[in-house]
Amino acid sequence: MTERVVVITGASSGIGAALAMQLAGRRDSPVLVARRADALQRVADRCGRRAKAIPADMTRRDDVARVVAETLAAVGRIDVWINNVGQGITRMPSQLTDEDVDEVMRVNVKSALYGMQEVLPHFQDRAAGHVINVSSMLGRIPYAIPRSVYCGAKHFLNALTATFREEVQQTHPGIQFSLVSPGLVYTNFGFNAMHGGPDSRAFPNGQTAEAVAAVIAGVIDSREPDMYTRAGQRDQVLDYYGTMGKDPA
């Protein structure tokens, strides 16, 4: 298998950093993107000479376009683009402000939209490419009340992924758009939530960032359009929607 050039956003810690390490270990070439330049470079150094770090803010379209341009200038192509930027929020839905909603959508939806739109011309020129959007089980089942607008943002991302796939594959069937939906992951996600939050590691039945990264690495190989990160999650989603709604009499 030839080495792939894989752009990973949100790569300075958590799932993104774990994925970069795994891909470098199997001789892919990760391009690491995040706002925190020092932390990003430390991850790149751990990955070795195959890795490249590009500090950028993926909620700014001009930064996203720059990442595409710098990657192509440095290595000549992009094979896989992984939208992994995300941030939670801790606020009950009845208390949400305009600013809360705008910020959560900006971070969780617009960053992915910009990534898909800016890398698409390169993929179309090659008639090949792969976008992987990292969503959440909260984008399937909105069971965390204080995360209400985050749930909505991930639902939005799910729909955007599916409709992007349908549009692009009408003319470019070699371009894939995949969705990966982790559940609880033992990272700093809780600490980093808007308005603060509990430590994600304090809850049971979570996964390590490395376990989720291994699933994403598998999706790079399989190009599956939709993947959960642990057994039983799909059945949970089917059970949830199977009990909702009622047909008219």
Q: Phi then psi for 108, rounded to 5 degrees?
A: -90, -25
The closest alpha carbon to 185, from 248, 226, 228, 142, belongs to: 228
43 within some domain: yes
Host domain of residue 182? 5-242
List CB contacts of 191: < 8 A, sequence separation 6 or more: 197, 199, 200
Instruction: Supply the residues annotated as catalytic.
Output: 150
What local confidence, expressed as pLDDT, does residue 204 receive?
Answer: 84
Residues 67-104 pLDDT 10s: 999 999 999 999 999 999 999 999 999 999 999 999 99
What CATH number is given to the structural domain containing 235?
Answer: 3.40.50.720
126 within some domain: yes
CA angle 78, 82, 85 (to 5 degrees): 135
* Domains of the chain: total: 1
What local confidence, expressed as pLDDT, does residue 222 receive?
Answer: 97
In this structure, the number of other CB atoms found within 10 A of the CB of residue 212 comes to 25
DSSP letter, residue 5: E
Rounded to the nearest 10 degrees, what angle do helices 148-169 and 98-105 cross at? 40
247 within some domain: no
| In contact, 212 and 227? CB cutoff 8 Å | no
88 within some domain: yes
81 within some domain: yes
- DSSP output for 22-46: HHHHTT-EEEEEES-HHHHHHHHHH
What local confidence, expressed as pLDDT, does residue 239 receive?
Answer: 94
What local confidence, expressed as pLDDT, does residue 142 receive?
Answer: 95
What local confidence, expressed as pLDDT, does residue 190 receive?
Answer: 87
The closest alpha carbon to 65, from 22, 112, 118, belongs to: 118
Report the alpha-carbon distance of residue 144 to residue 18 in Å, rounded.
Answer: 26
137 within some domain: yes
| In contact, 117 and 65? CB cutoff 8 Å | no
Name the H helices within the chain.
14-25, 37-47, 61-75, 98-105, 111-126, 148-169, 209-222, 233-242
50 within some domain: yes
Successive 10-residue mean pLDDT values, the chain, 249 residues = 89 97 96 97 95 98 98 97 97 97 98 98 98 98 94 98 98 98 93 88 90 98 97 95 86
29 within some domain: yes
